[in-house]
Amino acid sequence: ARETAATFNRDLKEIKPKLENEQDNIHKFANGIELQTPYCTRYYSRVIKDVVIAPSPLWLQTTLMNAGVRPINNIVDITNYVMLELGQPLHAFDLDNLSGKKIIVRQATNKEKLTTLDNTLRILDENDIVIADASDSIGLAGIMGGLDSEITINTKTVLLEGANFSEKHIRLTSKKLSLRTEASTRFEKGIDPNLCEQAVERVAELVEQTGAGIVVKGIIDIKQYKDKDNIISLRPERVEKLLGVEIPITDMHTYLNRLGFITSTKGQSIEAIVPSFRSDVEVEADLIEEIGRLYGFHNIEGKPLFGALTRGEKSYKKQIEARVKNILQGLGFNEVMTYSFVSPKEYDKLNLNKDAAERNFIKLMNPLGEDFSTMRTTLLPNMLDLIERNQKRGVAAAKFYEIGHIFIPKSLPVEELPDEKGVLSIGFYGENDFYFMKESLEIILDRLGIKDINYIREPNSPAYHPGRAATVFTGDTKLGIIGEIHPDVLINYDIKQRVYIADIDFEKMVELSKLDIKYSPLPKFPSITRDIAVVVDEDVMVGELENVIKYHGKDLIESIELFDIYRGDQVPADKKSVAFSIVYRSFKKTLTDEEINPIQEAIIIDLEEEFNAMLRS
């Protein structure tokens, strides 16, 4: 009605109840109201005596049925009618059935039982608000009344309730009990506490008019809030800036007044007192929106943009991210985006030590569930969960990557925002092995201009296989870990195949990257290629062999390519054959066998001495 009156500039006919025949005194019938919880901001009540329970008048029944509400009896129907009329949920108690003739609003005790009007037993806890008498609970506040205090054919004295409850608590209780009613729907959205009085008085008026009973003189009104005007200052120039149209100040006053705001002029600004029924209006922009609504957004004409436009561009970090994604997609990887929330049990599944840094995680106060209750400190659980799901669904082989964030608390308990660290996680299973992971990472680093890549055996990470994992360095800077996941971890995740994951510090990649491409002329002198195959122990890492080759080759080695790893009848059971193709080239002259042969011999001797390697012919 308010919106209609404001839209069409008509006077609002407010409901102002009048009582003609009040009798006796309310304190002869009721012994008071106690609010024992801060989540009931107001409780307004009246008493009706000499009640005659009967069917409602036909007009009232018709109105309720048209609104989808089933008529019950005159008292209940009047409370439902006023709820539809004013928006304030109401309830009527049989006062003669209330122990101690009093109302107590409190929070339920743990596992307290209450049978509601739908004849269902509800188990409550401390977060629920109940209406109680001197001995027991008689209603679920803001949601549904109790069966023991309902209005019956024998009811002679009624206590009317018009109350205001915390929308948060009503919403949580309604959701927990799967009990959504007309009352709870309204309380969840927030109701003006000043509406309690008008609604109860309107019920009393209709009781008089329909002859349903006699209104007892007096009220009981308990408030737990302070009436304080919410005054917002409005700048006319701000209205023009946000709406894009110049509206006369007098029209601004008019629009706000039509909506129930009390306005005055203070200097160059308008001060508006927000009516209590508009709790949604909090700041200046809200007032401007109200002005725009009544002015008519359709009346605001479009205007061409003016001023210089700033061309947007990707940040350097976003450029690196885009390049990495493009490379990985070209290598056949699929991008994934996983939740930043994980279960604390994931860290146990990774076999992390009790004092591992990854266990210093942030717990969420209101998680979606136990499986999403902590902020992740590593992307390993997300990648392993993803691989587990794909494997169980019959996907024989898959390759994934994610550029995401991990959250490292600066202190526990948390007192400030955590460090958000970018991480590149690459994972696959099925067709490829460790060397495909190594090659993929080297392609990425090379395209980013990151050189001097070295690998050192990583025996200390519980999530990785101790003999098949390596820490990746560029110079002295650690970039991350690549390798095969530990068999025990795979068992924890119920994964039946070997899994390879790279966990790379994306922030360091960005810091060390160089996107400028420098031209290198084609070599003037030919290369010499030599192959070398050695038999070594199974636990010797290929990277360690490569480091020896690089050391002796110095500046003459252009590239080293691993082209074969053999395990079989030709070598002992605990051995493997590793074959490299080594390309030599000088940028100053053509190399000869006399220059290359000593290097090859030195490499073989060093491999024999350091790894007990045997040259395979």
Domains located in the chain, CATH noted? 2-223 (3.50.40.10), 230-299 (3.30.56.10), 316-512 (3.30.930.10), 528-615 (3.30.70.380)
The band of 456, judged by pLDDT with boundaries at 50, 70 and 90, is confident
What integer pLDDT is reported at residue 349 of this predicted model? 94
Does the structure show a pLDDT above 80 at 270?
A: yes
**Range in 96-110, 329-343, 552-566 with the lowest mean pLDDT:** 552-566
Cis bond upstream, residue 413 (ω within 30): yes
For residue 272, what are its two tokens?
A: 């508006």
| Residue 140 · residue 148 · CB < 8 Å | no
**Range in 128-142, 319-333, 547-561 with the lowest mean pLDDT:** 547-561
Pairing of strands 33-35, 103-107: parallel
Does the structure show a pLDDT above 80 at 566?
A: yes
What integer pLDDT is reported at residue 522 of this predicted model? 86
What integer pLDDT is reported at residue 369 of this predicted model? 86
The per-residue pLDDT for range 232-250, each reduced to its tens digit, is 999 999 999 999 999 999 9
Mean pLDDT, residues 359-376 taken together: 89
What integer pLDDT is reported at residue 542 of this predicted model? 86
Does the structure show a pLDDT above 80 at 517?
A: no
Mean pLDDT, residues 465-475 taken together: 90
What integer pLDDT is reported at residue 202 of this predicted model? 97
The band of 14, judged by pLDDT with boundaries at 50, 70 and 90, is confident
Q: What share of the chain is helix, strand, coil (3-state, %, to 5)?
A: 35, 25, 40
The band of 81, judged by pLDDT with boundaries at 50, 70 and 90, is very high
DSSP secondary structure, 524-583, as one string: SS--EEEEEEEEEETT--HHHHHHHHHHHHGGGEEEEEEEEEE-STTS-TTEEEEEEEEE
| Residue 546 · residue 580 · CB < 8 Å | yes
Q: What is the pTM of this model?
A: 0.55
For residue 605, what are its two tokens?
A: 């001797």
The band of 304, judged by pLDDT with boundaries at 50, 70 and 90, is confident
The larger pLDDT score, comparing residue 207 to residue 554, is at 207
What integer pLDDT is reported at residue 533 of this predicted model? 94
What integer pLDDT is reported at residue 305 of this predicted model? 73
Q: Which residues, 6 or more positions from 141, have their beta carbon under 8 angstroms from its beta carbon?
A: 40, 105, 128, 129, 130, 131, 163, 165, 170
What integer pLDDT is reported at residue 208 of this predicted model? 96
Mean pLDDT, residues 365-384 taken together: 92
What integer pLDDT is reported at residue 183 of this predicted model? 94
What integer pLDDT is reported at residue 1 of this predicted model? 82
What integer pLDDT is reported at residue 504 of this predicted model? 97
Percent of the chain with pLDDT over 70: 100
Residue 487, helix vs strand vs coil:
helix
What integer pLDDT is reported at residue 172 of this predicted model? 94
Mean pLDDT, residues 383-399 taken together: 95
What integer pLDDT is reported at residue 3 of this predicted model? 87
The per-residue pLDDT for range 28-72, each reduced to its tens digit, is 999 999 999 999 999 999 999 999 999 999 999 999 999 999 999
What integer pLDDT is reported at residue 520 of this predicted model? 77
Q: Where are the beta strands (DSSP E) in 441-527?
A: 453-457, 464-474, 477-485, 499-505
Q: How high does pLDDT run on average in the chain?
A: 92
Rounded CA separation 348/491 (Å): 12
Does the structure show a pLDDT above 90 at 227?
A: no
Does the structure show a pLDDT above 80 at 309?
A: no
Percent of the chain with pLDDT over 90: 76
What is the amino acid identity at position 57? P
